[in-house]
Structure 1
Amino acid sequence: MSESTNTRALRIVALGGGGGSAQVLLGTRPFFAERTAIIAVTDSGRSTGTARMIANIPAPGDLRNLLATLAADPDAVLPRLMQHRLRSSAVPLLDGMAVGNLMIGGLTQMAGDIAAAVELARQMLGCPEQILPVSTANTHLCAELVDGRIVVAEAAVRALGKPAIRRLFLDPPAAAYPPAITAITNADVVVIGPGSFYTSLLATLCFEGIVTALRETSATVVFVCNTTTQPGQTDGMSIADHVTRLVDVLGPGVLDVTLINDTTELHPAVVARYSAAGLHPLVFTETDRQAIRALGVEPLVRHLAESDPGYRELWNKADTIRHDPQVLGLALWKIALDRGKP
């Protein structure tokens, strides 16, 4: 631990989707003075996809969720309105639409791009974190499957019952938002995950400049592995498989640490409930440990999962075992202290 790490303000960047990045940033508020989210913009699901079509914008859904969660008062009217989903049998296109998606669409048209729109929303909500889209480009996530087929748009990439994903790409190709590159460059810790492995985490790495920034930054790069597999994305993958795929994208020597949840703490009833929905807890094994260390990455196994909250109804997505923000934040702070910049 360097003296400078003790005395200067720590900076953390969370890279991924709206849910996982919220857990990281909420948990690190007591420990990191500067907190930045770099958020995926390629979702094409029902509400977000409709908003993209209406306003001709990058995907607003993950940004909306993060803005509402990180608001100065998440229970105030405006953040709750952003998360509210319209009910409209008369206009099926808008049935289930999150009001915040339309708000971001309107702000984008007013301000000129989605980054400016998000900054306006951040100020209105009083979010203390910096929130950045990974790109201002309106592009789509595509994938080549192991059987050679190409699937187009994020909803198809995560669709159930298809062969495994071989590689991801954007159509059209797009560059990252320059302030996102700057944030990665200046960070002490960059956190990838937790979140949808292909459609949020690896999707952000598809934008030109992000992987290069991760390779060049002096920050400690941490992967927070998901607690379970994800139907349509990581079925049958082990923890080591996740890390291997991430290292394949980043290149050797970039990823420093993988934070892994200790599944021995999970109640059997919780495991059974999620397994019945096709989300199987990722169990860390000695084989995983050896494989991850062979990649030059340090595996850290901790009890990171939240207490069982019971079943949660999510819009158009499967629930999962989430990380406890406070425990996760503490673990990331310790990593920052132990591996601080000189």
Structure 2
Amino acid sequence: MSQPDLPSLRLVALGGGGGSAQVLLGARPFFAGRTAIIAVTDSGRSTGAARMIADIPAPGDLRNLLATLAADPDSPLARLMQYRLRSSALPLLDGMAVGNLILAGLAQMEGDLATAVAMARQMLACPEQVLPVSTANTRLCAELADGRIVVEEAAVRALGKPPIRRLFLDPPAAAHPPALEAIAAADLVVIGPGSFYTSLLATLCFDGVVEALRATPATVVFVCNTTTQPGQTDGMTIADHVARLVEVLGPGVLDVALINDANALHPAVAARYSAAGLHPLLVTDADRQAIRTLGVEPLVRELAESDPGPRELWNKADTIRHDPQTLGLALWKIALDRAG
């Protein structure tokens, strides 16, 4: 197959709102077609309240992505999408992101979340296509290592529980057909970075997604997280992350694991995150060999952004984010190298 021209390259980012935003912002100079397929099973405080109010799938990751990818992220509408209400009189609305309510209202007005997202994307002039992985309002559940079942995303990522054995949806739900079509048409599918179980693997629970990834001619890349995640990946190595993803996808589906070189982190930064229970993931020779044994190519690059200091995230742990420009360039090189 001849190498495609730059304008023909199509990238699909699959996962949560934060990590997918880093991927898509970095991809802008290199990929003409850019699509996000975003998790919809979050049940945290603001998103969980919006789901309860409007009986919709989780809007929070979609809202965050739309606001970040807006043509002008500093516009009044983009800022309003991220603004959180303060209300001592109505605790349910205290801390509610206004954009969650906007998406809830649009979904009720138009009949489904996908249409709501398309309208919000138009309002914000986002250049990327943004799709929910599903329009079904379902619950993310997990079977733990001790056999217990936990229900809803907030419980799946709760602290102090046994490791997660498997994820499932209750009730089972199908993926949004345009999301599957985007995977089929992609040159590069990027899974991650993001909450490993509750965003990345959660999207793979919807009927049709794993099958689409198995069938696509695209190169499939896993962008590994920079740190472990309390309640999700405590004690897991980089090779453990890749092995679990390969277990879900099946052999021969995942092509590349793109790994941040955590040895480049300043020791003080690494110590600060470790003190909070987020341990930088250091790639070892044993990791590289284990990943190659799985049929996946490990690529190690310096991908982390300059330390911004601690960030206040709503009910979720901070992490070391990827630098969008460095990440986008690395993904472009992977796409070009594998297009020939």
Alignment of structure 1 residues 158-307 onto 2, 5 Å? 158-307=157-306
Q: Distance in 2 between matches of 1:208 and 1:339?
A: 28
Say which SS state the counterpart of residue 5 (structure 1) adopts. coil
> Closer, same or farther in 2 for the Cα pair 1:299/1:111, shift >3 Å?
same
Q: Summarize deviations over 1:208-232 as a string: whole Å, max 9, x none.
A: 0000000000000000000000000
2:66 is equivalent to residue 58 of structure 1 = no
Q: Which residue is 1:80 aligned to?
A: 79
Distance 1:19 1:233 in 2: 17
Could you tell me which amino acid in structure 2 is paired with residue 146 of structure 1?
Answer: A
* AA matched with 1:226: N
Task: Give the whole-Å Cα distance in 2 for the aligned partners of 1:311 and 1:12.
Answer: 30
Q: Which runs of 5+ in 1 are unaligned?
A: none
- Partner residue in 1 for 2:322: 323
1:6 Cα shift? 2.9
2:258 is paired with a residue of what secondary structure?
Answer: strand
Q: Secondary structure at the match of 1:162?
A: coil
Cα-to-partner distance string for 1:49-78 (whole Å, 9 max, x where unaligned): 000000000000000000000000000000
Matched, 1:104 2:103: yes
How far is the alpha carbon of 1:7 from its aligned partner? 5.8
Q: Contact between 1:258 and 1:300, CA under 8 Å: does it hold in 2?
A: yes
2:39 is aligned to 40
Whether the 8 Å CA contact 1:15–1:204 is kept in 2: the answer is yes
- Cα distance in 2 for residues equivalent to 1:112 and 1:10: 33
Rounded to whole Å, the distance in 1 between the matches of 2:5 and 2:67 is: 32
Secondary structure in 2 aligned to 1:138?
coil
Q: Secondary structure at the match of 2:240?
A: helix
What is the total number of aligned residue pairs between the two structures? Answer: 340
CA contact (8 A) 1:6 1:337 kept: no
Q: CA deviation at 1:264?
A: 1.3
- Give, in whole Å, the separation in 2 of the partners of 1:234 and 1:162: 11
TM-score normalised by structure 1 residue count: 0.99
Deviations 1:184-240 (A, max 9, x none): 000000000000000000000000000000000000000000000000000000000
Cα separation, partners in 2 of 1:54 and 1:276, compared to 1, 3 Å: same
Partner of residue 130, structure 2: 131
Tell me the equivalent position of 1:113: 112
Cα distance in structure 1, aligned partners of 2:5 and 2:32: 12
- 1:5 is the counterpart of 2:1: no
Instruction: Determine the structure 2 residue equivalent to 1:146.
Output: 145
Q: Is the 8 A contact 1:11 1:32 kept in 2?
A: yes
Tell me if structure 1 keeps the 8 A contact 2:103–2:113.
yes
Identical amino acids, percent of aligned pairs: 82
Mapped to 2, the partners of 1:4 and 1:282 lie a distance apart of 34
How many angstroms apart in 2 are the aligned matches of 1:143 and 1:219?
29
User: Structure 2-normalised TM-score?
Assistant: 0.99
User: For the residues of structure 2 that align with 1:254 and 1:137, how far apart are their CA atoms?
Assistant: 26
> Which position in structure 2 is the counterpart of 1:89?
88
User: What displacement does 1:8 show?
Assistant: 5.0
- C-alpha distance in 1 between matches for 2:46 and 2:334: 37
Deviation at 1:3, TM superposition (A): 3.5
Letter in 2 for 1:57: I
Output the CA distance in 1 between the equivalents of 2:177 and 2:188.
Answer: 18
**Mean Cα displacement is larger for which, 2-11 or 248-257?**
2-11
Contact 1:220 1:256 (8 Å CA) reproduced: yes
The alpha-carbon deviation at position 112 of structure 1 amounts to 0.7
**1:321 partner letter:** I
2:4 match: secondary structure: helix
Q: Following the alignment from structure 1 to structure 2, what is the Cα–Cα distance between the partners of residues 52 and 272?
A: 37
Question: What is the letter of the counterpart of residue 79 of structure 2?
Answer: R
SS at match of 1:82: helix
Regions of 4+ moved over 6 Å: none
Q: How far is the alpha carbon of 1:83 from its aligned partner?
A: 0.2
**Following the alignment from structure 1 to structure 2, what is the Cα–Cα distance between the partners of residues 263 and 175?**
37
| Alpha-carbon distance in structure 1 between the residues aligned to 2:135 and 2:228 | 30
**Worse-superposed segment, 7-16 or 246-255:** 7-16
| Shift of residue 260, structure 1, vs aligned partner | 0.2
Equivalent AA in structure 1 for residue 308 of structure 2:
P
Q: Residue 32 of structure 2 aligns to which amino acid in structure 1?
A: A
